């Protein structure tokens, strides 16, 4: 019991680049301090797990196709929550990150996978928005609200982002 690691559980609801960045920085930081870390991606946060490439998925309804087209494929394409100014603020942030050698969110996600952070995709959202497993990153897990409660109730740090 006493040798168990502490747990950090983050619900990533937001589809904003800066919020995904905050989520993944906290997650990677907690993992570096030996926490067992889970990021539960739901609603717009699910887009962070989408693969980069355009995919032609069969058997999607019209609405599902439209959601698929309107939502960003991967963190790289997400906008920021403040000062977006039609993409200008977004570009400023990316430029300033490059200048400071700050890791872009795509790389933070890769780092999270290398640190064995548990990335969960919310199956209820996938159903609703018509996202399929083949559209999401490999080596992630799938679960619903029960999976979250199971992790969250033992969390030392629980955040909704």
Tokens matching residue 113: 């996978």
| Identity of the residue, 138 or 160, whose beta carbon is nearer to a second copy in the bound complex | 160
Tokens matching residue 103: 């890791």
Percent helix, strand and coil across the chain, each to the nearest 5: 50, 15, 35
Distance, C-alpha 92 to centroid of its chain: 22
Please give the residues from 92 up to 151 whose contact with a second copy meets the rule CB under 8 A: 92-93, 95-97, 99-100, 102, 124, 127-130, 144-146, 148-150
Cα 56 from Cα 5, distance rounded (Å): 42
In the complex, least distance from residue 119 CB atom to a second copy, rounded to whole angstroms: 18
Distance, C-alpha 26 to centroid of its chain: 12
Q: What is the largest CA-CA distance in the chain?
A: 52
| Identity of the residue, 101 or 138, whose beta carbon is nearer to a second copy in the bound complex | 101
Tokens matching residue 13: 């609801």
One symbol per residue from 7 to 36: x for binding a second copy (CB under 8 A), - otherwise; what is it? -x--x-x-x--xx--x--xx-xxx-xx-x-
| Identity of the residue, 113 or 158, whose beta carbon is nearer to a second copy in the bound complex | 158
Q: Which residues bind a second copy (CB under 8 A)?
A: 6, 8, 11, 13, 15, 18-19, 22, 25-26, 28-30, 32-33, 35, 42-44, 61, 63-64, 66-67, 70-71, 81-83, 89, 92-93, 95-97, 99-100, 102, 124, 127-130, 144-146, 148-150, 152-161
């Amino acid at each position: 019991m006493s040798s168990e690691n502490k747990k950090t559980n983050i619900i990533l609801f937001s589809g904003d680049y800066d919020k995904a960045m905050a989520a993944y920085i906290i997650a990677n930081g907690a993992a570096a301090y030996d926490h067992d870390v889970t990021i539960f991606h739901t609603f717009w946060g699910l887009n962070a797990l989408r693969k980069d490439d355009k995919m032609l998925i069969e058997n999607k309804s019209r609405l599902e196709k439209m959601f698929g087209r309107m939502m960003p494929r991967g963190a790289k394409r997400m906008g920021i929550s403040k000062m977006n100014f039609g993409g200008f603020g977004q570009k400023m942030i990316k430029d300033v990150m490059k200048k400071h050698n700050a890791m872009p969110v795509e790389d933070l996600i890769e780092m999270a996978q290398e640190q064995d952070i548990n990335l969960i995709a919310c199956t209820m959202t996938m159903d609703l928005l018509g996202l399929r497993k083949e559209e999401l990153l490999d080596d992630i897990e799938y679960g619903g609200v029960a999976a979250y409660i199971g992790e969250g109730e033992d969390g030392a740090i629980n955040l909704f982002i």
